[in-house]
Structure 1
Amino acid sequence: MRLNEEDALPVEKTHLSWNPETTRARVDGLCRNPALPDPLVLRILEHPAANIAAVMYSRAWSDELFDTLAAHPDVHLREMLARSGRATGEQRARMVDDPSLAVVMALLEGPYGREAEPLPGWAYRKLADRPKIRWLVPLLGPGELSDAAVAAFAELGDDELTRATPRPEPERITADQARAVLAGDSAWERVKIALEPGLPADVITALAADPDPDVRLYVSMRPELSEQERAAIDYRVSENDRLPRLAWVIEADGEQLQRCVSSAHPGVRRSAARNPRLTAGQIATLAADDDFPVRLLLCESQRAVPADLVVRTYLEARVVTRGGLLSHPALDGADLTRYADSPHWEARALAVLDPDAPAELIERLSHDEHPGVRSWVASDARLSRERLLELFDDPETTAPAAANPNLPVDLMEAVLEAPIDPGEPSQDDVLVLGHTTPTHEPLAEI
C-alpha cells in the first residue's frame, strides 16, 4: 500500500512548531481521522502516543487493511477489530476462524453502535460448529449475544445452542425473615427488603416510618401504595439521587402506566420514562417534567422525543453519559443551525452536527470567541484548507484539526515523524470519584 503522490503537498514549516504536548495532541487527532491512509494507519498503531481504540473504532476499512489487521499478533487489537461498527459484516466474518475465544466472542456479541451490520448467516453457522462455542453459548445470560446471533442460532434448530441455562428464581423473603430484618440494626438490610414483593402490611407500615431516610424512600416506591399513601411517607428525592429501576413501572401498561406517569413521586416517574409502551401524550407529559432525571431518562430511552428536548437536555446535563444524546435519532434531520447564534458556546457548536449547515457558517464558527466551538469546527470537512491549517497551528485546536479528513497527507506524515518522548505523558491531575458537579445546570434561554 503506497500513498498517492498527488496527495502529497509541501509542508509549510510554520505549521510545524512541534513540542511533546502538541505532537501528542496531533497524534491523538490523527487517530480519529477517517481519511488517514492505510499505510499511515499501520504506522500510527505502533506510535507510542496512539489511542488505539480511537483508530479501531472511528474508521471504515479497506479489505486489504482489514485483512492485514485480522492477522495481527496482538489479540486485543484483533478483538477491537471484531467489534468495529464501521467494518462490514462480510469483513468481520473473515475472523470466524480466529484462534482466540475472545475474538470469536466479540463477533458474537456484535459491534458497538446502532447501525452495525450483522455477520452473514454462513458465519454464524460456522461459529456454531466450534466446540468451545457450543459449550459456552448456553451458559451466557440475556444480552450477552447480539440479536442477530440469537436469531441465527434459533434458525439452526440446535437445542444445545438455544437452550438457556436454568437460573433459579430468587426466593422471596418470608414474613418472619422480613420481621427479623426489621428488628435488626442494619439500615442497609432494611433498604434491601423495602421493595421486596409480598411483604406483610405491618412490615410495610414499619418501614414507612423507619428512622433511616433511604429506607423510607425505597418503601415509598412500592407498587401497591396509592398516591395518598406515598405522600404520607416522609421521603426526599434530589436530582442527584440514583434510584433503582422499578420493574413494575417499566412493565406497566394501560391505566397503571398512566398513574405512574402522573405520579407525584419522582422515582416512579423516572422509571416510567423508561417504559417502552409510552404513548405520544405520555411522552409529552414527561418531556415537561420538572425533574431533570425524568427528562434525561426519557431522552435516553425513547426515540419519539422532540429534538429540542434532546438538545436542551444535552446542554443542561452534567452527567458522563450526556455525549450519547448527540447520536439520538431525533436529531436526524433537525435544524441545528438555529443554535449558531446562541449565547451558550455548546449550543453554537451543535451547528457542526447539521449536515445541511453551509460552509460559510462553518467558516464563521471556526473564528468563534470560544475555543470549544473552534475545536468542534476544526475537524469539519467543510472548512477551507487555509482555515484548517491555521487551526492546526493553534495549540488549542491542533488535535481536532489533525482529525480533519482534509488535512494534507504530508502533514499527517510529519505528525508521525515528529520526535516524541516514548514515555507516558505527565500525570499531574488527580481523579476524584464522587459528585463534583450537579446532575444538571438549568438554562433559561438557548
Structure 2
Amino acid sequence: MFDRGGNELSAIVFNTSAPADVLLRLLHPEAAGSWHAFIARVLPDEVVDAIVVHPDRRIRSILAESYAATGEQRGRLVDDPHHRVRQVLANAPIPFRATAPSLPLPVQRRLLDDPEPVVRRDAAFYGKFDARLIAGLSDHEDPYLREASCHSWSLLSESDRERLLHDPHDDVRQWARRTACRDDARWTGVLLESRLDDSPRHDVIQYGAMTSAIAGRVATSDDAGDRSALALNTGAPLDVVRKLADDAEHSVRLAVSVRPEFTEAERAAIDFTVEPSDRLRPVEWVRTCQDADVLRDCARSSHTWLRRSAAFAEHLPADAVELLSRDDDYAVRLLLCENQPTVDGEVVLRTYLECQVITKSLLLSHPNFPKAGLSDRFADDPDPVKRALAAQDPGIAVDVLARLLADDDSYVSSAAAGHTALPLGLLLRACDNPETATSALRNPGLPPEVMHERLDALGVPR
C-alpha cells in the first residue's frame, strides 16, 4: 500500500533546507517510516548528537551506514552498546557510483580490535580501511583477519607472505595463494590442481601468471568458463589463445576477440557478435589503459565491446570522447555519458531522451547537461518527458512554471513542484496536492514553519 505519510516525511528529511529543529522532530518514533532517508542526508552536528544517544538502534544503524555523514560523525558510534550497530559501522557505506568518507584511523583501529568477532571480521573484509592496518593483521590469531591481510599483499614482508602461503587454515592459504599467483605461475598451477569452485577458479585463470604448459591444459578444459577466462588473461601465451579463436562456444570466441595483440583484421576474422542488448563488463586492459593512442584505436575499432570499454577509461583523450559521442551503439553513448565528464551537453541530452534504464535520472547531474534554455525548447512539447525537462531550467519564467505545475501528467507537475523559483502560494498548493506533495516538500524554498505544520498534521510530536 502507498504510504503517503511516510513518503511526505521522507521528503522533508531529503529537503536540503530543513533545519536542525525539523530534523530532530523526525527522530520521534512516529516518524520512523522516514528514517531510511537519513542515510543520504548531510546532518548538522546537533542532529548527530541526538542520533548517537537515540534509544532505537535502527536510527543509530542508519547513521552508521550513512554515505552523506562525515567519517568523524559516523565514528562516534564506535562505542555503541549494541554490537550490530558497530557491525554496520565496520562495513563501508556503498553509495551508487560514488565514494563515502573514510572513518578516522583511531576508529578503524578500534573496530579491528572490537570484542565481537563479527565486527572485527566485517571491518577487515568490508570496511575499506587503511591498507597498512589490514597488513598488520597477517599474524592475528583470528584466521579471518589473517585472510583479510592478503588484500594488502604488496605491503607484507617476504616472511609474512611465506607464512600466509603455508598457513594452517585452508581459507587463509587459498587467499594467499590466489594473491601470489598473479606474479608466480607456480601458485597458479597449485591452485588449479586443487578443488576450487567455479568463480575462484575462473579468477585464478584470468589473472594468474601462466606458463605455456598450464595454459595448454586450461585450453583443453571441458568448462567454457575456463577457456573464456584464459582468453581474457593478457599474460597467457598468445599462441595458445589463438587456438581458441575457433572454439565451439561463442563466449570463448568473444573473449579471444578482445586480445590486445590482435589487429582489426584478426578480430574481424573471428566469428562473434555483440548485440545491442548484451550486458558486458568492460574489458579490463582497456578500462585501465593510460596510453592515449591505444585508447584511440579502441574508440575507432569495429569491435563494439572495445568501444564500450573505452567509454569507461579514465584517460580517454578528448578526440576519442568526441568520436564515441557519435557512435551507432547506444550503450557506447550511454556509458560515455555516465563516465566522461567532458561529453558535449547536447549528446548527454539526446542520450537522456533515448534512455530506458532505471539510472536515467543520473544523467541530469552530468556537469554539461544543458539545463539553461530547456523551458523554451520543451515547455510546450507533446512528450511529457520533454515537458518535465523544462522544469530543469534555472531561468524558467514563473508563468511557464505555473502552467507546468497544472499539467495533467503527474510526472510533469511533480518536476515543476520541485523548482526553487516556484512562488510560495503555488508551492503551498503543491504541498496539498497528492500528485505533487512529495516533490513540493523536498523543495528547498519551503519555509521551515510550513515543514513544522506538515509534521503536526502527520502526527509527529513537537
With normalisation by structure 2, the TM-score equals 0.69
Alignment equivalent of 2:249, drawn from 204, 212, 237? 212
Q: Distance in 2 between matches of 1:190 and 1:183?
A: 8
Q: Which residue of 1 aligns with 2:272?
A: 235
| Residue 383 of structure 1 pairs with residue 367 of structure 2 | no
Unaligned stretches of 5+ residues in structure 1 = 1-18, 419-446
TM-fit CA distance, 1:273: 1.2
Q: Distance in 1 between matches of 2:252 and 2:108?
A: 48
Indicate how the Cα distance of structure 1 residues 80 and 357 shifts in structure 2: closer, same or farther if over 3 A, else same.
farther
- SS at the partner of 1:330? coil
- Higher mean C-alpha deviation, range 105-114 or range 197-206: 105-114
Asked if structure 2 preserves the Cα contact closer than 8 Å seen for 1:75 and 1:103, the reply is no
Aligned residue pairs total 387
Indicate how the Cα distance of structure 1 residues 80 and 309 shifts in structure 2: closer, same or farther if over 3 A, else same.
farther
Indicate how the Cα distance of structure 1 residues 111 and 61 shifts in structure 2: closer, same or farther if over 3 A, else same.
farther
Q: Distance in 2 between matches of 1:364 and 1:133?
A: 60
- Indicate the structure whose relative CO is greater, using CA pairs within 8 Å and at least 6 residues apart: 1
Alignment equivalent of 1:81, drawn from 41, 49, 63? 63
| Residue 246 of structure 1 pairs with residue 283 of structure 2 | yes
Matches within 5 A, 1:332-411: 335-341=373-379, 342-405=381-444, 406=446, 408-409=450-451, 411=453
Indicate how the Cα distance of structure 1 residues 184 and 137 shifts in structure 2: closer, same or farther if over 3 A, else same.
closer
Matches within 5 A, 1:122-201: 124=104, 126-127=106-107, 130=110, 132=112, 139=124, 144-145=128-129, 160=136, 165-166=152-153, 167-170=179-182, 171=188, 172-200=209-237
TM-fit CA distance, 1:321: 2.7
Q: Distance in 2 between matches of 1:194 and 1:52?
A: 48
Identity of aligned residues (%): 34
Q: Which residue of 2 aligns with 1:13?
A: none
Q: Which residue of 2 aligns with 1:331?
A: 369
Indicate how the Cα distance of structure 1 residues 127 and 30 shifts in structure 2: closer, same or farther if over 3 A, else same.
closer
| Residue 66 of structure 1 pairs with residue 45 of structure 2 | no
Unaligned stretches of 5+ residues in structure 2 = 115-119, 139-148, 154-178, 183-187, 189-208
**1:49-104 deviation digits (Å, cap 9, x = unpaired):** 7242224423x433322210122244453343245455466655655655658659
- Higher mean C-alpha deviation, range 36-45 or range 270-279: 36-45
TM-fit CA distance, 1:47: 3.6
Structure that is richer in helix per residue: 2
Q: Quick one: which amino acid aligns to residue 165 of structure 1?
A: S
Q: Which residue of 1 aligns with 2:170?
A: none
- Higher mean C-alpha deviation, range 173-182 or range 249-258: 173-182
Asked if structure 2 preserves the Cα contact closer than 8 Å seen for 1:270 and 1:293, the reply is yes
Indicate how the Cα distance of structure 1 residues 21 and 116 shifts in structure 2: closer, same or farther if over 3 A, else same.
closer
Q: Which residue of 1 aligns with 2:331?
A: 293
Indicate how the Cα distance of structure 1 residues 118 and 409 shifts in structure 2: closer, same or farther if over 3 A, else same.
closer
- SS at the partner of 2:357? coil
**1:271-327 deviation digits (Å, cap 9, x = unpaired):** 111122222111101111111111122122222122222222222222233332222
Q: Quick one: which amino acid aligns to residue 187 of structure 1?
A: A
Q: Which residue of 2 aligns with 1:32?
A: 14
**1:97-138 deviation digits (Å, cap 9, x = unpaired):** 55658659748947858999958xxx8354366372698799
Alignment equivalent of 2:35, drawn from 46, 52, 63? 52
Q: Quick one: which amino acid aligns to residue 454 of structure 2?
A: M
**1:193-237 deviation digits (Å, cap 9, x = unpaired):** 221234455643442222322222221111111100101111111
Q: Distance in 2 between matches of 1:271 and 1:41?
A: 43
Asked if structure 2 preserves the Cα contact closer than 8 Å seen for 1:375 and 1:400, the reply is yes
Asked if structure 2 preserves the Cα contact closer than 8 Å seen for 1:289 and 1:295, the reply is yes
Asked if structure 2 preserves the Cα contact closer than 8 Å seen for 1:56 and 1:81, the reply is yes
Q: Quick one: which amino acid aligns to residue 50 of structure 1?
A: G
Q: Distance in 2 between matches of 1:24 and 1:92?
A: 25
Q: Which residue of 2 aligns with 1:434?
A: none
TM-fit CA distance, 1:262: 0.9
| Residue 417 of structure 1 pairs with residue 455 of structure 2 | no
Indicate how the Cα distance of structure 1 residues 374 and 228 shifts in structure 2: closer, same or farther if over 3 A, else same.
same
Asked if structure 2 preserves the Cα contact closer than 8 Å seen for 1:273 and 1:301, the reply is yes
Q: Distance in 1 between matches of 2:305 and 2:351?
A: 19
